[in-house]
Every structure is written in C-alpha cells, then in structure tokens.
Amino acid sequence: MTLDPAGRPFIAGLVALTVLVAWWAPWLAAVGVVLTLFTLNFFRDPDRSPPHDPGTLTSPADGRIVRADASRISVFMNVFDVHVCRSPVSGQVMTIVHEPGRFLAAMKDEASEHNERIAIVVQPQDGPPVRFVLVAGLVARRIVCRVAPGSTVRSGERVGIIRFGSRVDLDLPTGAVGVVQVGDRVVGGESVLARRSPGPA
C-alpha cells in the first residue's frame, strides 16, 4: 500500500508509542494498534486512472457530493476517505492563493468562504481557467500543497493532501455543465464531475 509522505511522522510516532505502551501495559497496546491502522488507512495514496476525454473535469477528491449547482460542485471527505487531492484538468498552474481562516465543519457551505483554504487555478490548453479550492475542516488543521505557479499538471495528478476530514470545491468555468448530484459518491482522479466546452476564455 502506497502512503502519502505527510503521514510518515504520524505513523512513526504511533508505532513508537504502541511499542512503549506494550512494554508498560500490553492490553493498552491494542489502542495503539487501532490508531496506527486508522492512520495508515487515512494516508493511503492509491493510483488512479483518469478518463482520456480532455473535455471532462474529474473529481479532485474522494468523497460525497454536498453541493452541485451551476456554479460549484463540492466534495466532502470524511475521515475514512482518501485525502490526497488531484487536479480536475490538465494544464498549467496559474495561481495558488492561501487564505487563513476558521475551522468550521466542512459539510457546511460557510466553510468554503470562512475556513482555512488554498485556491488553485489551472489553465488548460483550451477553454477558460479552472479553479478548485482545498478547504480545511473541523478536524483538518493543515493543507499540504505540492504544486507551484508555472508547473504543469495532468488531469488526476496529485496536487496535495488535506489532513483529517475536509472539503474540495470545484468552481465550474463558463460553459461547463455538472453531471453529478448531491449525495453521489465520487472517486478522486476518476469520477467525472462536469463536462466543459473547449474554446477561448
């Protein structure tokens, strides 16, 4: 199982703690084992196979659709979902903007405007730019972004990770039409959220 690098300090610490607890009180070691397994599951980083259609916008995260309208599609990740985030489209990263904020429950729409977040804008070869936002949640306290302005990304390529429960918003560019509904389960890097209309911005 491949793990995101952000999980290594947590896993190493839990393993060390479990060993110490096992020496002191073996019966308590079970708690450490459970926490270690949970952390391994949280930081898993499976490979994904994006669709080959360049006219689609793929889900930037695993989770459940909590908003789907003409302007935005939002994916909520619970603590059991994969939290590695991916680019919904191929293109060049134009801007990355970090906004400090609160840590409201990520299922609430207010989280998109008030929580800690990082907005990434990708310019595809054709059509208007695509903006998506990594939003911290009630438990998530850190967003790790691994791309920079000027870098080139492919649809479904990893761009970072949000730790321990969060949300990703995809702002639909002009001409894009969503194909999912609230309540749908989606897979980051594979599920199509919308179809866009290629052409000049």
DSSP state for residue 12 in the 8-state scheme:
H
Pairwise CA distance, residues 25 & 42, whole Å: 26
Q: Look up 90 and say whether it is catalytic.
A: no
Alpha helices in the chain (DSSP H): 8-24, 29-42, 111-114
- Other beta carbons within 10 Å of 15: 15
CB contact at 8 A, 78 and 147: no
Pairwise CA distance, residues 102 & 148, whole Å: 24
CA 49 to chain centre: 16
- From the list 71, 166, 191, 197, the catalytic residue is 166
Beta bridge partners of 58: 192
Give the phi and the psi of residue 96 in degrees, each rounded to 5. Answer: -135, 120
The residues annotated as belonging to the active site are 166
